[in-house]
């Protein structure tokens, strides 16, 4: 099967990573124009054809909020507090704690890594904004066009709120990592509205909901918690759109199309996972005297690495793909081998917010 970024693959122990050097990341980041095939489709049916999407659109209208006015931007948020647990959620403070580094260094590293992660989410939100604009053109029913349009407004607000958060409270926006840039381009370039929906709404939204949820559940700063809660509520609707649309698509498509979608999903998640945060480690590692390759090698040697590594994927994206029939016996083994799938492939159940958006 085709792998993404084959030219940047190398072995660390028995694991194949994607590791892009800084010069090439710079080049990838500089590719601002992306050639996107887009089928625009008219419809003359203005009545509702897909009732659950129309209901989701109504929910979307009711759930609007204003990033400038509804957030208390004067509330404190600073680098002198532990707003996330010291270990287990972020890689750098976990490693530095294991190495016996002092409290202040670990806290500084936690802040830097969090800023990096939020910056990557910001760039992901921009991709979501662009792809939803595409979906408004390409989706065949008026219900889907309405829904996608309401998501365009949501994603613009997410770009706004996360950019303002980073500018006002953090002081830095880190540039996009090379792996993420290539993967987001893949989704933006996907040829049909079905693949675009699978890529953005199911895969990337699934991963993003996982990250937002893990931050929010563990976060002790009320300002950050409120901001993430608002974004996550919107994201739950987006994930519901992905599931509802993909369910129909899956029902109607051939075995061959199923295999294509299944392989597309695997290829994207495999490449994301193959980076093992090397893109982040190359940027922040040197400040803390850490060599990126050594950190990954150390993580890979932890006995329950697969369980730790799969946490994010098992949160939403893998269970959703499984429910859609897009992870089957045919591909389950590959996901396991790469530490993406661990335990029951159905996970622990659908995210409560996503479920609520579908009722
Ligand atoms: Fe978003
Ligand atoms: Fe979204």
pLDDT at 299 over 80: yes
Residue identified by tokens 């209208």 is: 61
Q: Rounded to the nearest whole angstrom, what is the distance from the C-alpha of residue 126 to the centroid of ligand 2?
A: 10
Residue 164: how many CA atoms within 13 Å on its side-chain side?
A: 16
pLDDT tens-digit profile of 6-62?
999 999 999 999 999 999 999 999 999 999 988 899 999 999 999 999 999 999 999
Q: Region 165-171: what's the mean pLDDT? A: 97
Query: Looking at the chain, which runs of residues are DSSP E strands?
Result: 9-12, 15-18
0.85 surpassed by pTM = yes
Contact call for residues 219 and 83 (beta carbons, < 8 A):
yes
The pLDDT assigned to 349 comes to: 63
Nearest ligand to the C-alpha atom of residue 159: 1
Residue ranges per structural domain of the chain: 6-31+70-358
* Alpha carbons 96 and 207: distance in angstroms, whole number: 26
Q: How confident is the model at residue 147 (pLDDT cuts 50, 70, 90)?
A: very high
Residue identified by tokens 């009732």 is: 51
CB-based contacts of 8, cutoff 8 Å, min separation 6: 18, 19, 20, 24, 178
First-residue to last-residue Cα distance in the chain? 38
Q: Rounded to the nearest whole angstrom, what is the distance from the C-alpha of residue 150 to the centroid of ligand 2?
A: 11
Q: In 174-191, which positions are buried (b, 16+ CB within 10 angstroms) versus exposed (e)?
A: bebbbbbbbbbbbbbebe
Nearest ligand to the C-alpha atom of residue 123: 1
Contacts 24+ apart (CB under 8 A), 160-163: 160/67, 160/68, 161/67, 161/71, 161/227, 161/230, 161/231, 162/118, 162/121, 162/122, 162/125, 162/231, 163/122
6-31+70-358, which class in CATH? mainly alpha
The pLDDT assigned to 359 comes to: 65
Q: Region 65-71: what's the mean pLDDT? A: 98
pLDDT at 294 over 80: yes
Among 239, 174, 241, CA closest to 211:
239
Q: Rounded to the nearest whole angstrom, what is the distance from the C-alpha of residue 294 to the centroid of ligand 1?
A: 33
Q: Rounded to the nearest whole angstrom, what is the distance from the C-alpha of residue 325 to the centroid of ligand 1?
A: 25
Q: Rounded to the nearest whole angstrom, what is the distance from the C-alpha of residue 285 to the centroid of ligand 2?
A: 30
pLDDT tens-digit profile of 196-253?
999 999 999 999 989 999 999 999 999 999 999 999 999 989 988 998 999 999 999 9
Q: Region 330-340: what's the mean pLDDT? A: 96
Q: Region 145-156: what's the mean pLDDT? A: 97
Q: Region 326-337: what's the mean pLDDT? A: 95
The pLDDT assigned to 351 comes to: 67
- Report the Cα 124 to chain-centroid distance in Å: 7
* Alpha carbons 138 and 142: distance in angstroms, whole number: 11
Contact call for residues 21 and 32 (beta carbons, < 8 A):
no
The pLDDT assigned to 344 comes to: 87
């Amino acid at each position: 099967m085709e792998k993404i970024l084959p030219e940047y693959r190398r072995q660390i122990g028995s694991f194949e990573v994607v590791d892009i050097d800084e010069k090439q990341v710079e080049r990838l980041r500089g590719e601002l124009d992306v050639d996107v095939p887009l089928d625009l489709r008219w419809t003359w049916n203005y009545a509702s054809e897909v009732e659950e999407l129309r209901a989701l659109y109504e929910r979307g209208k009711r759930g609007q909020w204003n990033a400038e006015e509804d957030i208390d931007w004067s509330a404190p948020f600073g680098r002198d507090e532990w707003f996330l647990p010291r270990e287990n959620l972020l890689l750098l403070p976990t490693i530095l704690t294991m190495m016996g580094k002092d409290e202040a260094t670990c806290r500084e590293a936690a802040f830097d890594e969090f800023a990096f992660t939020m910056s990557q989410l910001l760039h992901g939100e921009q991709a979501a904004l662009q792809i939803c604009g595409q979906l408004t053109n390409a989706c065949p029913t008026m219900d889907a066009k309405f829904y996608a349009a309401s998501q365009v407004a949501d994603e613009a607000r997410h770009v706004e709120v996360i950019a303002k958060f980073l500018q006002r409270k953090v002081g830095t926006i880190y540039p996009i990592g090379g792996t993420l840039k290539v993967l987001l381009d893949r989704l933006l370039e996907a040829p049909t509205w079905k693949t675009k929906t699978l890529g953005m709404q199911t895969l990337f939204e699934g991963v993003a909901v996982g990250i937002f949820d893990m931050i929010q559940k563990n976060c002790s700063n009320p300002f950050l918690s409120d901001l993430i809660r608002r974004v996550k509520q919107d994201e739950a609707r987006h994930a519901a759109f992905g599931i509802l649309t993909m369910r129909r698509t899956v029902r109607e498509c051939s075995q061959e199309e199923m295999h294509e979608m299944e392989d597309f999903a695997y290829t994207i998640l495999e490449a994301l996972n193959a980076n093992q945060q090397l893109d982040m480690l190359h940027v922040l590692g040197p400040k803390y005297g850490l060599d990126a390759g050594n950190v990954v090698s150390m993580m890979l040697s932890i006995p329950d690495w697969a369980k730790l590594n799969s946490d994010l994927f098992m949160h939403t994206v893998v269970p959703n793909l499984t429910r859609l029939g897009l992870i089957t016996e045919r591909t389950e083994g590959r996901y396991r081998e790469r530490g993406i799938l661990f335990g029951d492939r159905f996970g622990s159940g659908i995210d409560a917010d996503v479920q609520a958006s579908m009722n």
